[in-house]
Amino acid sequence: MAAILRGFGAVLAGIWQLMQECSLQMRLATMSGAFLDMAAEDYFGDGGLVRQASEPDVVYRKRIRAALFAERNTRQAVTNALVAVTGVHPVIIETLNASDCHALACASVPAMGGGYGYGAQALRYGSLQGGQFFVETQLGKAADLATVCRVVDQTAAMGVTGWIKVKN
C-alpha cells in the first residue's frame, strides 16, 4: 500500500514541479531560454527581434522590454529612430502641418508664403490629404536604404505613408 501511495506521490510531485517551472515562464520578467525566444516571436513576429549569438537572457529580456515600450506613432518617435540608425537628424515634412509647408506663394512674391510656393527654392506643397509624411535624411551609419525604410515603417503609425528621400 505504501508503495502505491509513494508512486502516486512521485507522479504528483513531478507534476507540481513542472507547474512551478511553467509559472515562471508566464511573465516576461521571469522567462528564460526558449520561452523568452517564443515570447519575442509572439510580440514582434517571425524574425522581428531575434536573439543575438550567445546573448544572455538578461540582455535579451532588456531588449524585448525596450522594443515593447518604445515610443511610436509620433513625429518625434520617427526622428529619434532615424537618428539612432543613421546618426543624422532628418527633415520631416507633414503635409498638414503649416509650419512645415507654410502658405503657398509665387515666383514674383516668394516671401508671401514664408518662402515656399510655386517657383520658390526648397518648394514644399501642403495638402489637405492626411495620412502621409515626407522624410529627407542621409544614409549616415545605416547599413542600407532598406534599414532606413524598415525603421520608418516600424515607427510610423499603421496606415500612414512615409515617403523617404535618402541622400548619400
Please state, in angstroms and rounded to a whole number, the distance separating the CA atoms of residues 140 and 166. 10
What is residue 12's DSSP assignment? Answer: H
pLDDT confidence of residue 62: 93
pLDDT at 161: 87
Q: What is the pLDDT of residue 65?
A: 92
The number of distinct structural domains making up the chain is 2
State the residue range of the domain holding 52.
2-68
Residue 111 DSSP symbol? G
Residues 95 and 143 both lie in one domain: yes
Domain check: are 48 and 81 in the same one? no
Q: Identify the pLDDT of residue 79.
A: 93
Q: How far is CA 162 from the centre of its chain?
A: 14
Per-residue confidence (pLDDT) for residue 120, from 0 to 100: 52
DSSP state letter for 41: H
- What does the alpha-carbon distance between residue 167 and residue 134 come to, in Å, rounded to a whole number? 14
Supply the pLDDT for residue 113.
Answer: 54
Shared domain for 64 and 87, answered yes or no, is: no
CB 134 within 8 A of CB 163: yes
Residue ending a domain, among 68, 83, 98, is: 68
Contact predicate 103/112, CB 8 Å: yes
Q: Return averaged pLDDT per consecutive 10 residues of the chain, 168 residues in all.
A: 87 91 89 92 86 93 89 90 92 80 60 54 62 89 88 88 87
